[in-house]
Amino acid sequence: MKPLFILLIFSAWTFIGAQYYYQGLMDYLENRLLAIEDRMQFWSEQYHQYHTEMLAFKELTAVTIDGLKSDHSNMFKDLEGASLRVDLAEKEMDYVEIQTSPRACANRADKVVEHEAWGLQDREEEEDGDWEDLQSKVSDCVEIISGIRSVKILKRVGSPKGMWTRDPRSSKVYVFNGTSGDTVFQFNSVRDFSRSLGVEGTTSIQLPSEWSGPGSAVHNGYLYYVQQDTDTDVQVVKYDLLNGSVTEAAIFPVDSHASLYSLNPETFADLAADDQGLWLLYAASDSEPNISLAKMDTATLDIEEIWDTRCPRENAEAAFVICGIVYVVYNTRLASRSRVQCLFDVNDMVVSQEAPLLYFPRRYGAHASLKYNPEEKQLYGWDDGYQIIYRLTMKRKLLV
């Protein structure tokens, strides 16, 4: 009986013990849960607070952004107004410039070479021949620029200075990047050039010698370029673009390599080719302030005549030849608007009253070169790395 009692007591005790043990565990877990709940509560409160703060902030930013937006549109309107006013001011400036500027100065032909050596007879015939006769002596056409009709900025390729031109016969475009080199890029057409990605994948022509300065000319499948070997000798090279060989070369004796245009010191000779022949603009020497002009035979590169154009080299940036008239383009050192301010007619036909003072349209920088294409009556300009086409309107020269 006693052992059974003891067992009973023992089991009851064990039971009570376990009971206590579980109770403890339960209490512990409950406390933990409570603690977790507290923390959850805390975080929920925090979250709520943050959320509220965030909403407030969002509202604030929305208000600020709205304010900024309206400020921006106000500023934009102001800017538009200002730009309109600048345009107006510029138009007025143009008007004033055109009203007040003197006409481009037109110089009469003044041959500096010996008449005996270069066609005295021609000159004598001119004197008593009618003007049709006179025309055919140096230049057959009778056109003078009357204005710049339009401008087209085609693309931007290469360095700020360079030159591009189109052969009027083949329609091919030739690009001379930089101020010297022995490479020329060729495109099949202006369209091809404007669609191209730079000069990648196009035909590049490797010349046997370096061209110096953006003063080359392309005419009838031939490339004429200026090569400078030493300080004193300038060579004009005629290169056959079809079979890739030099067909002719002639030394052009100039005293030094004085730059032709003071605003483009890399150009010390500038070629222009047309149906009348090959024209070479150059600086006779450092001390000669005016631009000289030589007419050469396109086939043999013989010099036929030389003139002093009396157009100053100072502040000149480029020049081009149309129908035996040299148009010299001037600018300022801080590029403003280029203008034709001096012209020289080898035929002595242009009178001062009809010499146009031509302003080029507003643009980016300064012309490194301007090349005239007689078939299209347009100029190919290289302006601070932009390739630009200027379409010209022409009129007949007044006949005196």
Residues that bind ligand NAG (CB under 6 A): 158-159, 177-178, 198-199, 240, 243, 245, 247, 288-290, 308, 310, 312
Measured from the CB atom, the residue of 107 and 347 that comes closer to ligand NAG is: 107
Rg (CA), the chain: 41
Q: In whole angstroms, how close is the CB of 355 to ligand NAG at the nearest point?
A: 13
Query: CB count, 10 Å around CB of 128?
Result: 8
Distances in whole angstroms, Cα of residue 79 to Cα of each of 67, 73, 90, 154, 366: 18, 10, 16, 28, 27
Q: In whole angstroms, how close is the CB of 153 to ligand NAG at the nearest point?
A: 18
Measured from the CB atom, the residue of 161 and 257 that comes closer to ligand NAG is: 161
Distances in whole angstroms, Cα of residue 233 to Cα of each of 156, 277, 326, 341: 34, 22, 24, 30
Q: In whole angstroms, how close is the CB of 241 to ligand NAG at the nearest point?
A: 10
Question: Would you say the C-alpha torsion 46, 47, 52, 57 has a positive or negative sign?
Answer: positive
Measured from the CB atom, the residue of 344 and 392 that comes closer to ligand NAG is: 344
* Residue 311 structure tokens: 């157009």
Beta strands in 254-302 (DSSP E): 269-274, 277-282, 290-296
Query: 3-state DSSP: the chain helix, strand, coil percent, rounded to 5?
Result: 30, 40, 30
Q: In whole angstroms, how close is the CB of 61 to ligand NAG at the nearest point?
A: 47
Measured from the CB atom, the residue of 146 and 170 that comes closer to ligand NAG is: 170
Measured from the CB atom, the residue of 307 and 360 that comes closer to ligand NAG is: 307
Taking the C-alpha atoms of residue 324 and residue 344, their distance in angstroms, rounded to an integer, is 8
Taking the C-alpha atoms of residue 199 and residue 156, their distance in angstroms, rounded to an integer, is 11
Q: In whole angstroms, how close is the CB of 247 to ligand NAG at the nearest point?
A: 5
- Axis-axis angle for helices 131-138, 120-128 (nearest 10): 160
Measured from the CB atom, the residue of 134 and 219 that comes closer to ligand NAG is: 219
**Cβ partners under 8 Å of residue 19, min gap 6:** none
Taking the C-alpha atoms of residue 319 and residue 311, their distance in angstroms, rounded to an integer, is 10
Q: In whole angstroms, how close is the CB of 379 to ligand NAG at the nearest point?
A: 22
Measured from the CB atom, the residue of 83 and 285 that comes closer to ligand NAG is: 285
Q: In whole angstroms, how close is the CB of 99 to ligand NAG at the nearest point?
A: 23
Q: In whole angstroms, how close is the CB of 222 to ligand NAG at the nearest point?
A: 8
> Residue of minimal CB distance from ligand NAG?
178
Measured from the CB atom, the residue of 177 and 369 that comes closer to ligand NAG is: 177
**Cβ partners under 8 Å of residue 367, min gap 6:** 317, 318, 329, 331, 338, 360, 381, 382, 383
